[in-house]
Structure 1
């Protein structure tokens, strides 16, 4: 089973059981954002998490095995060469679909504004190496029906 087939099975089971990523994350004892990324095929799951998830959703072992496979993280875009910009681009490439899924689950069908938007960058000192904290704060803009 490939990652696309795995994701399709998970999404069908999630919808049939009327689950949210947050509820699934709590039930499995992990971050719902990380779990979303795993289920969308952009990260791999450890064996125990993979089998716990498939048991929770009532799915076959082949789904658990696909969850454990290391993904190839590719997207069809030109990649910037500046190292810092590249890493931000990588974050969106790897977690973009995850963010979209989680945001739309919480807010509905729409987008985060980049016009009514603020961003903050903080440094968090850490003995293992300083950390970068990015805060992106955009107004939610729902799509309108007409």
Structure 2
């Protein structure tokens, strides 16, 4: 049995070897490219039918399929990342996190946005001044309960 790290390495190697993009794989398999990428990077488990479709599409074996289906342990490095794109997302949360919390709680009440009942889209908006990245985070609101 292989772990999620080895699974990810094999998936990325197959993707590169075949000259594929996450967008193409997602479109061909009828899956969200964002969810597909997250599962292939080991941060989500894939239902059996999706794991089988991904591994068949990429020509990978049953060990990768089994690893895709395994429940992940969602641990990430707690240090601020140095990759510029990931760092900028940390910066957005650092600068606007409290603002988002205030606005969300003012509109919904005391609670959180689910990252379980959640979807995300990444879109490109062409602009003559420089193309724009549009991130859409869509999570169910979960109110805190009192008892």
TM over 0.5: yes
How far is the alpha carbon of 1:77 from its aligned partner? 1.5
Q: Give the Cα separation in 2 of the matches to 1:76 and 1:52.
A: 30
Deviations 1:62-108 (A, max 9, x none): 10000000000012327xxxxxxxxxxxxxxxxx9xxx8xxxxxxxx
Q: Give the Cα separation in 2 of the matches to 1:21 and 1:68.
A: 19
What stretches of structure 2 of length at least 5 have no aligned partner? Answer: 108-112, 115-119, 121-129, 132-147
* Number of aligned positions between the proteins: 103
Match of 2:41 in 1: 40
Q: Find the residue that maps to 2:16 and give its secondary structure.
A: helix
Match of 1:54 in 2: 55
Match of 1:84 in 2: none
The aligned runs of 1:6-25 (5 Å cut-off) are: 6-25=7-26
What stretches of structure 1 of length at least 5 have no aligned partner? Answer: 79-95, 101-109, 126-130, 141-146
Deviations 1:25-62 (A, max 9, x none): 01111100000000000000000010111100000011
Q: Give the Cα separation in 2 of the matches to 1:53 and 1:76.
A: 27
